[in-house]
Structure 1
Amino acid sequence: MWSVILLAGLIIMVAGVVYAGFFFYGVAIKRAPKDFLAKTPDLKVDPPVAGASWGEGADWVSRQSFREAELISHDGLKLKGYFLASGRAAGRTVIIAHGYSGKAKDMGATAKNYYDNLGYNVLLPDARGHGQSEGSYIGFGWHERRDYLQWINYILEETGPEAQIVLHGVSMGGATVMMTAGEELPPQVKAVVADCGYTSVKAQLSYQLWRMYRLPSFPFVPVASLVTKLKAGYLFGEASALKQVRKARVPILFIHGDADKFVPFAMMEELYRACSSPKEQMVVHGAGHGLAYDTDKIQYVRKVGQFVERYVDNPASVRPV
């Protein structure tokens, strides 16, 4: 009798954990509106998209004439992007990665800095599972890193072999460009700017599971990871910016607000220590998640300009402001 009760209890417990794995996949990974972001006390923007700088960025984007760009990913998805050529670029281009649940044109403030102040061409891709790009799931930067290799090739075809490319990402976009940095990159990729990116998908989701639900990582994150492997083709443990920056050769600027509680500030310190390539860091005091630019705009613009100028050759007529 007791063995039957224990077996029934074990089956119910296992079923509950499996259900939770599918539930958390639906919440975090599946392409769907992320309404929970609006309820988190750690995000102070509305809509809650890191790095958006809505008024300034949206106004700037509305006044530009972007050309639509398109490519087919390695696994057959149609990905959309938006390209803006600058007459001052001389082959210099920034590819900007947006955050979780956002879209390309949310990144207007970042694009404005590179286009207006630095004279760069700008490419804004919609990540898979976001905006106008196809995809039924969010890759948290892991599958997107391969998409970014294709966007880099797109720019090389667009601007020629003399191109000089910077990758700049915020939040999930920051993780995306760090994960891309660990791949074999063409020499035209000169620098990476990673703003408030996380160390790994496993670490970030474990942190959020406790913050939002007061649940431990085990067994929920491993089960959700297995569900993600079945449905989206990757495990949380392999999706690691920390491992990628250890392999990186391209210079990386790490930016993080020390008041960030959505992606903990300590993650930047861990990433910076692990990075094996030339590196710098910028700590923005008092900045929450994705708010480094808004909190200290002057210093942000100056630091990014100085960093990329160190590794990207400038035409004599173009200097950062």
Structure 2
Amino acid sequence: MKLKKRVTRISIAIVLIFIIGMGIAGNYFYNVGINRSQEGPNLHGGGSSAAAASIEGSEEQQKEIAELMKWTEQQQFEIVQIKSYDGLTLKARFLKNPNSNGKVVILAHGYKGSSEQMPGITKDYYDMGYDILKPDARGHGMSEGNYIGYGWHDRKDYVDWVDFLIEEKKEDTIFLHGFSMGAATVLMTSGEKLPKEVKGIIANSGYTTVKAELSHQLKYLYKLPAFPLMEVTSVVTKIRAGYSFEEASALEGVKKNTLPLFIIHGDQDELVPTKMATEIYDAASSKKDLWIVKGAGHTEAYTVAEEEYKSKLQNFLDTAIKQ
């Protein structure tokens, strides 16, 4: 009898230690990957591919970058803001183009990024005659928020930014173009009820679901299996940030989307595996196009194939507007 009680106590203690340990681990990974902080983890697959590195190191590329930075500094970006559905002040940079005639693109940055990034594509859209809105996602840059939404709560913010552009800036032709986390954001947004002014979605290097992407990172960064850490961290995230990894899905977004969709991905992407682009494409129910860029790593399609990128983008925009 005493032995049985002792075994029971030991078993209960082991279970309690496991639960406490999982709770500590879940909060640790929340603080590393979800909680707002100045420094993010060194993500697996975040380096440059050989193709991109050779271009970035060239004298010609350095000259182009210098000219681009000069152009960027000369532009008069207006700082605009909205209130989110949950009371956060969200800010963005807005660049007015005198030749836009109501055409605008919303550019969505990646994880730990900001509206100060994406200068090349910003100038390209400007040269094509578009106004540009570059929001700081919640938990990033100038925007409020103490956690990173990975696109899920951000999708509602982007609906609000669309409404802002229509009501305050009188825009009537709107595109959403995102990179990495920003790509997942616009894909998730595509599943929302959007006004007729939104004409198309461009997603560069987006992931399928938050759970799939974080599980991928966990495997390579920490050599740990996804189960049960992802489930525990998801519960912690639900409690602390209000969403779970399971519900944050770009796949579910594109299933509901009715707008033209252009998916771009590098075939050397190790941060967001290339197969995710195919999964998103297969799940999408609207008119869609998939471009896998040879030699490109994560968000490197523009660097590796800049002229083709601009040509395909222009064709997509023109075709979508005519529909």
Give the structure-1-normalised TM-score: 0.91
Question: Does residue 63 in structure 1 map to residue 68 in structure 2?
Answer: no
Q: Is the contact made by 1:145 and 1:176 (CA closer than 8 Å) also made in structure 2?
A: yes
State which of 84, 87, 103 in structure 2 corresponds to 1:92: 103
* 1:100-159 Cα shifts (integer Å, max 9, x gaps): 00001112111111111x110000110000000000000000000000001001110133
Q: Is the contact made by 1:61 and 1:105 (CA closer than 8 Å) also made in structure 2?
A: no
DSSP-derived class of the 1:238 partner:
coil
> Structure 1 residue 197: deviation in Å?
0.4
User: For 1:237-316, what aligned pairs fall within 5 Å after superposition?
Assistant: 237-312=246-321
Question: Does residue 2 in structure 1 map to residue 13 in structure 2?
Answer: no
State which of 32, 37, 41 in structure 1 corresponds to 2:37: 32
Distance in 1 (CA, whole Å) between partners of 2:148 and 2:17 is 30
Q: Is the contact made by 1:86 and 1:119 (CA closer than 8 Å) also made in structure 2?
A: yes
Distance in 2 (CA, whole Å) between partners of 1:59 and 1:287 is 27
> Structure 1 residue 58: deviation in Å?
4.3
> Structure 1 residue 40: deviation in Å?
4.1
Amino acid of the structure 1 residue aligned with 2:96: A
> Structure 1 residue 9: deviation in Å?
1.8
- 2:118 is matched with which residue? 107
- 2:221 is matched with which residue? 212
> Structure 1 residue 61: deviation in Å?
2.5
State which of 161, 164, 169 in structure 2 corresponds to 1:159: 169
Amino acid of the structure 1 residue aligned with 2:157: D
- 2:137 is matched with which residue? 127
**CA RMSD, Structure 1 to Structure 2 (Å):** 1.9
Q: Is the contact made by 1:27 and 1:34 (CA closer than 8 Å) also made in structure 2?
A: no
State which of 148, 161, 177 in structure 2 corresponds to 1:168: 177
Distance in 1 (CA, whole Å) between partners of 2:120 and 2:238 is 35
Q: Is the contact made by 1:58 and 1:106 (CA closer than 8 Å) also made in structure 2?
A: no
CA gap of 1:225–1:193, structure 2 versus 1, over 3 A, is: same
> Structure 1: which 4+ aligned runs deviate by more than 4 Å?
56-59
State which of 197, 208, 211 in structure 1 corresponds to 2:206: 197
CA gap of 1:8–1:59, structure 2 versus 1, over 3 A, is: farther
User: For 1:175-190, what aligned pairs fall within 5 Å after superposition?
Assistant: 175-190=184-199
Q: Is the contact made by 1:142 and 1:176 (CA closer than 8 Å) also made in structure 2?
A: yes
State which of 12, 27, 47 in structure 2 corresponds to 1:43: 47
Distance in 2 (CA, whole Å) between partners of 1:34 and 1:270 is 31
Distance in 2 (CA, whole Å) between partners of 1:280 and 1:41 is 25
DSSP-derived class of the 2:239 partner:
helix
DSSP-derived class of the 1:185 partner:
coil
DSSP-derived class of the 2:41 partner:
helix
Distance in 2 (CA, whole Å) between partners of 1:109 and 1:178 is 22
> Structure 1 residue 217: deviation in Å?
1.2
Distance in 1 (CA, whole Å) between partners of 2:223 and 2:27 is 18
* 1:282-301 Cα shifts (integer Å, max 9, x gaps): 11111111111011101111
Amino acid of the structure 2 residue aligned with 1:260: D
